[in-house]
Chain A
């Protein structure tokens, strides 16, 4: 899986609690992304990072924040989880300077989050 791990892999939490998901890479890729996957929606971008401490919003960023203090780690935080944030969350990485300029994204194994 291109040296990408996500933790935890499964989590059940209650509405109103904070949750942090971690993505860790060993590929030294510059770009990192967080997506959520829901039936009928495909994957939707939440936030992405184009370098340490450089982040930007995706199409479904409300209710989520991110941080990247090291190249290898990208954290996704739900400040106060809601049931609508029940989903499968995927992290991805890419390197625009490699892979022939394709900037192909490689995906982690996913985290299944349930908010009760």
Chain B
């Protein structure tokens, strides 16, 4: 059974600071996704990571993947209030298209 764990579950940060969200998964994976969800809204795709060592950046967010360690990180640089949201990682196991989600990290950026 594929398990996906995120930590921390809750994160309160000051504006301008840097921090990292971690996503661990239990079995070999084909792809890893990061999503953002604002309160009461749907999920928005942020990144798709395919291979070991993959790194993608969009604005103040950077995601990386280490398939050997079964670990992905989402790094936030110089946080701003607009980044307040819940972030999910999700993993696809080899051979099927079923996404398994982590429980999410609720990020709050404090002015």
Residues of chain A touching chain B, judged by Cβ–Cβ distance below 8 Å, are: 1, 31, 33, 40-45, 48, 50, 58-59, 90, 94, 96, 102-110
Residues of chain B touching chain A, judged by Cβ–Cβ distance below 8 Å, are: 4, 31, 33, 35, 41-45, 48, 50, 88, 90, 92, 97-104
B99 contacts across to A, CB distance below 8 A:
33, 43, 45, 105
Apart from A50-B97, A102-B48, A105-B45, 10 more pairs, CB < 8 Å: A1-B42, A42-B4, A42-B88, A42-B102, A43-B101, A48-B97, A104-B45, A105-B33, A106-B45, A107-B44
Is the Cβ of A102 less than 8 Å from the Cβ of B42?
no
Q: For B35, B41, B90, B99, which residue has the most chain A Cβ atoms within 10 angstroms?
A: B99
B98 contacts across to A, CB distance below 8 A:
45, 48, 58-59
The residue from B45, B48, B88, B92 contacting A43, defined by CB atoms under 8 A apart: B88
Is the Cβ of B88 less than 8 Å from the Cβ of A31?
no
- A42 and B101 in contact (CB under 8 A), knowing A102-B31, A102-B50, A104-B33? yes
Is the Cβ of A107 less than 8 Å from the Cβ of B31?
no
Distance between B10 CB and nearest chain A CB, rounded to angstroms: 12
| Residue on A nearest B42 in the bound complex, by CB | A107
Is the Cβ of B103 less than 8 Å from the Cβ of A41?
yes
B42 contacts across to A, CB distance below 8 A:
1, 90, 107-110
B43 contacts across to A, CB distance below 8 A:
43, 90, 107
**CA of A12 to CA of B15, assembled, Å:** 40
Distance between B38 CB and nearest chain A CB, rounded to angstroms: 12
